[in-house]
Structure 1
Amino acid sequence: MGVVLSRWMKTACAVFVGFVLLQSLVSHAASAADVPKGEVTKHQFRSSKIFPGTVRDFWVYVPQQYTGEKPAALYVNQDGIQYNAPAVFDQLIASGDMPVTIGVFVMHGKVPAVNGETQLDRFNRSYEYDGLGDGYARFLIDELLPEVEKLKTSDGRPIKLSKDPHDRAIGGSSSGAICAWTVAWERPDSFRRVFSAIGTYVGLRGGQNYPTLIRKYEPKPLRVFLEDGTNDLNIYGGDWWIANQAMERSLVFAGYEVNHSWGDGGHNGKHATEIFPEAMKWLWKDHAAGIKVGKGSPQLQEILIPGEEWELVGEGYKFTEGPAVNAQGEVFFNDVPNSTTYKVGSQGVEVFRKETNNGDGQAFGPDGRLYTVAGQSRQIVATSPDGKVTEIAKGFRGNDLVVLNNGNIYVTEPGWSGTEPSKIWFIPKSGEAKVVDTGLKFSNGITVSPDQSLLYVSDSKSHWVYSYQIQADGTLSYKQKYYHLHMPDTADDSGADGMRTDKNGRLWVATRMGLQVCDQAGRVNCIIPSPNGKVSNLTFGGAEFDTLFITAGDRVYKRKIKVSGANAWQSPIKPAAPRL
């Protein structure tokens, strides 16, 4: 009897469970049927100037809730439609877990064969997706998305995309994932939410550098979701599983908003598709509140003040250079093509001197005069506070200079033509100018260590800043490629330009990537980008020399910081010993 009852109970339970599951499936089907379904349309884009000669398909998803009256949020995905995204968006928009969002699903470019009948198998995928730099970001922002906004839905609703970066997400798998990250990294003014599945952060086109750069750069306002599995690729370019973990650890270290889902899968979209709905919920959570910016590394926290941002000092110049500070903390700079020197005073920017013969690099000396490289007249001149100009040296076209506390001057002469040698000149306090070094590719920025025992010279056409020991007679010894700078993927050199040291012995270098801040051991600790992506030189101004001024193309910016500059015209100081 007990056995019969037991069997009966098992059968009853099975029937009951089956009934419950059936009810659940019926209920789910009913609720899914009730979810408003968006429209997906297919299009083609052929007129790229950034990737000329390519043709690509793209799809546009528009949710039913979108009215066309105001711009919608945006999600862009590389490699077309993945993760069952339109259906996921239907559900999440209906449940309120993501805003009304238009999806743009883009294929990589294909290159038509000469006869036009077939398309080359190489496509443009790795070139467009795996490379660092802003090329693909510009393609999306300046070319494709404006074309999307020319479209309409089948019922005539105009496509309007929000320009608020908090309203924009981007994602992809593998090479499409690193592409998504690169777009947001390069243009956080346009995209701030990233979904990355089995991302290719390995040595194909420079992606292996991201975990290092993330740790050094001033953090950007990005939120990132990473996905990968233990059986992902491990090939000639690197180990995807290890690389994605390195990305996650770097993002956490730098204080980013980051989440992840690790599985045991391989290089496919199975796991990403499974977790995509929850990833989207997390990426869009607290949408109205925006995305927080992390504090950055301990090294960044040592020099930057939370909440202090770049401020515009002046704009509308042709090309700014030569920022220099006097004993009162007043900053002077040159507009080189316009042969004008400006002073940043309490009432704003005012003209200090006109007709400078294309005044370029400059620095104050211990006598209070402003020493300037006059490029057009091939001179070094000194201007007293009352405006009197005195020639110090002539006969060569210099670039930048530094004046030491003892009155000695060092000047760089790059070798402007590309065929003449690059030189470093020494001008004693009393005496004739003479060459004390040659051999750099393009000697540019120049400064001294706080104790004025070492001369530093940046070589713009390399990734090095050279160090020399200054001898008692002013000559230079023990030349070393000492400071190792980062280079952008879009250039073959660092573009290192003007430099200054702070009282703690750090070297600040203006480069293509922004200000690279190096420790005394010659290592880049921090990278601080400028607001407009340009920087040629810097100085520390203000009464305490704790306001950073940069010349940046047609503009000049300033920013309050935690550290103070070491001025070469002051008495030498000995900073604390460097970290090992």
Structure 2
Amino acid sequence: MVPRRGSVLAAMAAGFALAAAILIPPPAKAGGSASVEPLTPAGAKLFPADAALQQVWRDQLGFFEGPAWDRRAGQFVFSDIPGNRLYRWNGRGAPQAWLSGIQTSHDGAILDPERNRYMVGPNGSVVTDDGGLIFCVFGGNRIERADLITGKRTTLAASSHRGPKFTRPNDIVLAPNGGVLFTADEGLFRLVAGHVKLVEGGIHPNGLAFSPDHKRFYMTEHPDRIMRYDVDPSGHLTGRTEFVRMTGDMSFGFVDGLKTDKSGRVFAVGPGGIWIFSVDGEHIATIHAPYKRFSNLAFGGADGRTLLLTAPEGVYTLREAPDL
């Protein structure tokens, strides 16, 4: 997602700005491809030997984020923050603009000087079991729900309403004990039935995900680490520990979006691409970004093995190997 305000200047110089020409990713090791670099035997099994990113959408004036899989409709949803709209893509042809004009003012937005556009609109999103899309309105300091069929929008929470203040909500995930967890400048929050509660403050959170069995919770924390929590039977977070700390050139991107796959591996945005970790925290592979960085990712498709990867300049897909 978008970096916290405290790191805006560095992030805009390093994370938001695109190179004038394509940056060639580091060469892949034996058994890899131009897009995927396996670092261990386990990492070499993650993707076919000829795996390569496929470009779905490109717009250098956009900043793409918030990918989510709509199982009922068989399509992905993703956001363009400065474009102030949500897109849908069913795997065929070009993505279609779905909802536009989501935020009408720039009150909470950050100006991206590279594009000369405000980071005003929708950011992270998650699909619910009742056919809704819950998403963060980054520049509006609120959480909304949109009906995936009708497009009708409802505000679930706003920083100016009851409860603790939250600024520039970033990423979001369904909580196993109901409601959602979301990150914002002030920390990690929980939203249930219109009530917002600060779960943890004094941190710099970004992407977040649960393990498939909901026994672990992972969260990226600016600029370079992933934190892991235990989840107790009631769904509350306990036992915060550092899962991994990334290394590398942070001008190629800080930590950002994060997801887990069906086997519990952790896929996290880091410098230069998506860093893939085993459940034990071993760095087993990297998906290299065609430009400097990615912003987020989601798993989808009929078998849940199609990756949709968002980046500042566009959107890409990549297939995991079958039968992992």
* CA distance in structure 2 between the aligned counterparts of 1:432 and 1:564, rounded to whole angstroms: 41
* CA distance in structure 1 between the aligned counterparts of 2:38 and 2:236, rounded to whole angstroms: 43
Aligned to 2:287: 528
User: Contact conserved, 1:426 with 1:474, CA < 8 A, in 2?
Assistant: no
| Cα distance, 1:533 vs structure 2 | 2.7
Aligned to 1:318: 62
* CA distance in structure 2 between the aligned counterparts of 1:380 and 1:294, rounded to whole angstroms: 37
| Cα distance, 1:364 vs structure 2 | 0.8
1:352 aligns with 2:98: yes
| Cα distance, 1:474 vs structure 2 | 4.5
| Cα distance, 1:467 vs structure 2 | 1.2
1:454 aligns with 2:216: yes
Aligned to 2:138: 375
Aligned to 1:330: 75
| Cα distance, 1:187 vs structure 2 | 4.0
C-alpha change, 1:410 and 1:294, in structure 2 (3 Å) is closer
* CA distance in structure 2 between the aligned counterparts of 1:296 and 1:465, rounded to whole angstroms: 19
C-alpha change, 1:433 and 1:563, in structure 2 (3 Å) is farther
Q: How does 1:536-575 map to 2 (within 5 A)?
A: 536-562=295-321
Match of 1:315, as an amino acid? R
Aligned to 1:94: none
* CA distance in structure 1 between the aligned counterparts of 2:230 and 2:264, rounded to whole angstroms: 15
Note the alpha carbon deviations across 1:93-120, whole angstroms, 9 max, x for none: xxxxxxxxxxxxxxxxxxxxxxxxxxxx
Aligned mate of 1:399, from 146, 151, 170 = 170
* CA distance in structure 1 between the aligned counterparts of 2:211 and 2:280, rounded to whole angstroms: 12
User: Contact conserved, 1:365 with 1:404, CA < 8 A, in 2?
Assistant: no
Note the alpha carbon deviations across 1:383-425, whole angstroms, 9 max, x for none: 1121111121111231100013554200001x2xxxxxx3100
Aligned to 1:71: none
User: Contact conserved, 2:37 with 2:285, CA < 8 A, in 1?
Assistant: no
Aligned mate of 1:509, from 268, 292, 317 = 268
* CA distance in structure 2 between the aligned counterparts of 1:304 and 1:490, rounded to whole angstroms: 27
C-alpha change, 1:554 and 1:498, in structure 2 (3 Å) is same
Aligned to 2:249: 488
Note the alpha carbon deviations across 1:162-216, whole angstroms, 9 max, x for none: xxxxxxxxxxxxxxxxxxxxxxxx747xxxxxxxxxxxxxxxxxxxxxxxxxxxx
Q: Secondary structure at the match of 2:145?
A: strand
| Cα distance, 1:497 vs structure 2 | 0.5
User: Contact conserved, 2:135 with 2:145, CA < 8 A, in 1?
Assistant: yes
Match of 2:102, as an amino acid? T
* CA distance in structure 2 between the aligned counterparts of 1:295 and 1:313, rounded to whole angstroms: 24
* CA distance in structure 1 between the aligned counterparts of 2:323 and 2:97, rounded to whole angstroms: 26
Q: Secondary structure at the match of 1:452?
A: coil
Structure number having the greater strand percentage: 2
Match of 1:305, as an amino acid? P
Aligned to 1:301: 44
| Cα distance, 1:490 vs structure 2 | 4.7
Aligned mate of 1:361, from 114, 120, 124 = 124
Match of 1:507, as an amino acid? V
* CA distance in structure 1 between the aligned counterparts of 2:226 and 2:179, rounded to whole angstroms: 21
Q: Which runs of 4+ in 1 moved over 3 A?
A: 293-297, 404-407, 471-475
* CA distance in structure 2 between the aligned counterparts of 1:401 and 1:426, rounded to whole angstroms: 10
* CA distance in structure 1 between the aligned counterparts of 2:211 and 2:189, rounded to whole angstroms: 18
* CA distance in structure 2 between the aligned counterparts of 1:372 and 1:522, rounded to whole angstroms: 29
TM-score of the superposed pair, with normalisation by structure 2: 0.77
Q: Secondary structure at the match of 1:521?
A: coil
Aligned to 1:193: none
Higher mean C-alpha displacement, 398-407 vs 549-558: 398-407
User: Contact conserved, 1:455 with 1:467, CA < 8 A, in 2?
Assistant: yes
* CA distance in structure 2 between the aligned counterparts of 1:464 and 1:373, rounded to whole angstroms: 23
1:390 aligns with 2:149: no
| Cα distance, 1:308 vs structure 2 | 2.6
Note the alpha carbon deviations across 1:246-282, whole angstroms, 9 max, x for none: xxxxxxxx428xxxxxxxxxxxxxxxxxxxxxxxxxx
Q: Highest relative contact order (Cα 8 Å, sep 6+), 1 or 2?
A: 2
1:432 aligns with 2:195: yes
Q: Secondary structure at the match of 1:348?
A: coil
User: Contact conserved, 2:157 with 2:194, CA < 8 A, in 1?
Assistant: no
Larger CA Rg, structure 1 vs 2: 1
C-alpha change, 1:408 and 1:503, in structure 2 (3 Å) is same
User: Contact conserved, 2:277 with 2:285, CA < 8 A, in 1?
Assistant: yes
* CA distance in structure 2 between the aligned counterparts of 1:362 and 1:499, rounded to whole angstroms: 12
Aligned to 1:255: 30
Match of 1:313, as an amino acid? V
Match of 1:496, as an amino acid? V
* CA distance in structure 2 between the aligned counterparts of 1:305 and 1:564, rounded to whole angstroms: 12
User: Contact conserved, 1:517 with 1:525, CA < 8 A, in 2?
Assistant: yes
C-alpha change, 1:508 and 1:361, in structure 2 (3 Å) is same
Structure number having the greater helix percentage: 1
C-alpha change, 1:471 and 1:349, in structure 2 (3 Å) is same
| Cα distance, 1:380 vs structure 2 | 0.6
Match of 1:300, as an amino acid? G
Q: How does 1:191-202 map to 2 (within 5 A)?
A: none
| Long gaps (5+) in structure 1 | 1-137, 143-185, 189-216, 221-253, 257-290, 416-421, 566-580
Count of paired positions: 274
* CA distance in structure 2 between the aligned counterparts of 1:347 and 1:506, rounded to whole angstroms: 30
Q: Secondary structure at the match of 1:299?
A: helix
Aligned to 2:228: 467
| Cα distance, 1:435 vs structure 2 | 0.5
* CA distance in structure 2 between the aligned counterparts of 1:423 and 1:515, rounded to whole angstroms: 23
Higher mean C-alpha displacement, 469-478 vs 370-379: 469-478
C-alpha change, 1:301 and 1:390, in structure 2 (3 Å) is same
C-alpha change, 1:295 and 1:509, in structure 2 (3 Å) is closer
Note the alpha carbon deviations across 1:358-395, whole angstroms, 9 max, x for none: 11111112222111001222111111121111121111
| Cα distance, 1:545 vs structure 2 | 1.6
Aligned to 1:411: 182
| Cα distance, 1:529 vs structure 2 | 0.5
User: Contact conserved, 1:484 with 1:522, CA < 8 A, in 2?
Assistant: no
| Long gaps (5+) in structure 2 | 1-18, 104-120, 160-165
1:477 aligns with 2:241: no
Aligned-residue CA RMSD (Å)? 2.8
